[in-house]
Chains A and B, each alone.
Chain A
């Protein structure tokens, strides 16, 4: 084992790279991988994974099991990097991309943490990266992403989302939100119920009007004529 980890997960340009030991028992690998992901389930959820299997031959049934294991956790296995023909065949059979590992570990594009500052550098966006959060963000939670942020739940007062791209909340948005945080004026914010404490898009800022007894309705916020406009989400 050369003193290596049996399973390693690292962030790369286009998602996550999962490297597995060439010799360890398959069941040990999958157990360890599940445990690692479950420790930070919401962080990994929505990620796209490239599996680096090295020279390990991974038959189709094992690869299928791994794909299902990841999918149950909201993670998409989309590519396999391998030197083994068995693994290549399995990947092709499952319609996965195969490649040699060329991806270099990059600065982690996303953090999902309790206010810990992230590496918020200007990396190029391909327009599709983002994170999906399948839970309600409660007060004190801060989500930062270079890409888009999708929340399947509410964003409560006191919670905050800062996204380089768009923010979509499938629930009630009552916390703080900043879309297009790197200056993208085309970014939008959508929510099923839009009552943010503060809403920012690029360099613009607005608050929700004080209205009582309002009826929740899906709305979208965007910039028009240098102002933030909120309109019905159609």
Chain B
């Protein structure tokens, strides 16, 4: 069997690839999966920061590929989850330091020891993207409910299909239910209508995400965070569990749930 290699990509930058990768890694590790996350964004590394492991970096992905260290030496163990590892990107090199076949070789070395290998892709459709998807068994495309992000996701899906990696599954990130209701933001239906691929998760906008990422404790560790819960659901869907997708707009706030509760009880009486 071996590990499932999952690449997180998007085309457009800033939609939440790194946040998604970090949160899925942590969420899977919490469920006792053996996970390694790889930062394939060479030259612009930041998965280590979001995971709170920046100060432990000695060797990086390029050091492994160029033979300056053993694979194990570049794998940083997470502070909280002993079965979660990070392979950081090099900061001083660029995308050409790695080739798609390097990535395939690297993941093949890890497959036997892990359940999941998550690869954080750089933005764009060039070499870095091709490196990141070369080894993928499964591709997650992160997008925001904005026309430009959806357009880039569409392009990425087309490229994945051309490489026989497609069509991938979609994560709709940063959804604001009130804006969707007012018709100011694309809804999940609007997005899947264009992209026509399976939606694996809808992540609501959550003010807790940025401080969590800044402090190196991915938001999914916070039990009360709605975005965190959404990432945990995606992780379980990746594990093959059948968890229904709850549209963000129906999730409602606390007051709304309360009022629904009262409405329900008065109907019953």
Q: Contact residues of A with B, CB < 8 Å?
A: 135-141, 154, 156-158, 174
Contact = CB atoms under 8 A, between A and B. Distances in A.
A140 B158 contact: yes
B237 interface: no
Interface of A is mostly: loop
A85 to B, nearest CB: 43
Nearest to B147: A157
Contacts of B157: 138
B contact residues, range:
10 to 19
Interface in B137-158: 151-152, 154-155, 157-158
Contacts of A157: 151, 154, 194
Nearest to A158: B151
A136 B166 CA distance: 13
A139 B196 contact: no
Interface in B158-197: 158-159, 161, 194, 196
Interface of B: 151-152, 154-155, 157-159, 161, 194, 196
10 contacts: A135-B161, A138-B155, A138-B157, A139-B151, A141-B158, A156-B154, A157-B151, A157-B154, A157-B194, A158-B154
A140 B159 CA distance: 9
A136 B155 contact: no
Contacts of A140: 154-155, 158-159
B172 to A, nearest CB: 17
B155 A158 contact: yes
Given A139-B151, A139-B152, A154 B158 contact: no
A157 to B, nearest CB: 6
